[in-house]
Amino acid sequence: MQAAHQGPFNRLGALGLFPRESEWTPAPLLETLERIRDRVGNSGLVRFVLSPDFHEKASFLDRKEFRRHIPVECRMQLAGVPLDAERDSAELEHALRSIASGRLAPLPSAPESQYGGSTRAATDREAETAERLYRHLSAYCWLHFRFPEQFPAREEAEQNRRRCAQYLIRSIARGLRRRCRECNGILPFGHAHAICEPCYRGRFQGDYY
């Protein structure tokens, strides 16, 4: 858990922006975001932490079982994990339970027989499954640098992620047309994510609180 306290957010704690916690009164993350906004103003960091995606994950992290076992500054960092709170809720919950309990997190699998060689997606559903797996593997790598004891297999995760990316590229090269899950626009060739750049940038514009 100590690794999670390192990074830019612990400097916010030094400024008194994190409420003091005790064993009986763990601070809500959403309340902390309000304190940051009130003290810092509408800076780039605040625009990010008040975005809808971050806000949705913060609500998830404020569940009682996570507030009791994960300090607020750790939850602040975890709200930035590259997972969708709605579409990846099961994966997010499994990751948080591993962190809260200190147990080893399972590594998402991308078998060579399914994603390697010359294999490719034949349907949109198969492509969406690969996109979701790519996202979960990216989150595993992200979490490794913050919680290496619970997410130790970064090299294997990177290998599986590259396999998924190549699978998606082969599928697109063979004519599969992937669409942005937000605006339904066609994604460019080689784009490994499920959302287009304009929609991604749009999430972090304006004050969403």
CA 4 to chain centre: 15
Token reading at 205: 């514009």
Q: What is the largest CA-CA distance in the chain?
A: 57
CB of 29 closer than 8 Å to CB of 72: yes
Q: What is the pLDDT of residue 160?
A: 93
Which of 207, 206, 203 has its CA nearest to residue 57?
A: 203
65-104 tens-digit pLDDT: 888 888 888 888 888 898 888 888 899 999 999 999 999 9
- Report the C-alpha gap between 67 and 97 in whole angstroms: 11
The reported pTM is 0.69
Q: Cα-Cα-Cα-Cα dihedral of 44, 186, 57, 167, to 10°? A: -110
98-157 tens-digit pLDDT: 999 999 999 998 888 888 888 888 777 888 888 889 999 999 999 999 999 999 999 999
Token reading at 84: 């969708």
Token reading at 133: 């797996």
Q: Which residues pair with 186 in a beta bridge?
A: 179
Helix, strand or coil, per DSSP, at residue 186: strand
- What's the mean pLDDT when you consider all of the chain? 76
Q: What is the pLDDT of residue 52?
A: 72
- Report the C-alpha gap between 1 and 11 in whole angstroms: 17
Helix (H), strand (E) at residue 166 = helix 154-173
Token reading at 204: 């972090």
Which of 71, 83, 172 has its CA nearest to residue 121?
A: 172
The CA–CA distances, whole Å, from 134 to 100, 150, 179, 192 equal 24, 19, 16, 8
List helix spans (H) across 41-153: 44-49, 52-61, 64-67, 72-78, 89-101, 112-115, 124-144
Q: CB neighbours (10 Å) of residue 136?
A: 25
Q: What is the pLDDT of residue 105?
A: 94
